[in-house]
Amino acid sequence: MTAPGLELRRNYFTNRPIYNVDLRVQKGIKFGETRKLLLSAEFFNVMNRSDSQFSGSSTTNYCATSNNVCGLSGITNINFLNLIQQSPSATNNGKLNLSGLNPGQQVFQMQLGARFQF
């Protein structure tokens, strides 16, 4: 958070980083000169990270109304870029702010495949 009178620094509105690691393993086994069996395994979201992203005005707007002072009046939205609910009057105070999050990508998945070429 910045104090009133200080401009918001460059790229202050950048969202959380996304980490997406996928892996593919393939092995070919030859049967003679013209036939081949390809076995493959694909893994999606290997690290099993949720990669939550901020979404909606409850976490991405730094103030209640738009203005042209670029944050010189200070950030008035206490949930600005926070994963945890900061409002003391909210029923989910101190818990995950689900209304301002996009859950991101899917959970870990694996796919197996076999292909016979002739």
Number of neighbouring beta carbons within 10 Å of residue 55: 14
| Rounded Cα gap, residues 98 and 75, in angstroms | 21
CB 28 within 8 A of CB 36: yes
Indicate whether this model's pTM tops 0.95.
no
The ranges assigned to domains in the chain are 23-117
pLDDT tens digits along 30-70: 999 999 999 999 998 888 877 666 665 555 555 555 555 55
The values of phi and psi at residue 14, to 5°, are -70, 135
Q: pLDDT tens digits, residue range 64-107?
A: 555 555 556 666 677 676 777 777 787 777 777 666 555 556 77
What is the pLDDT at residue 48? 80
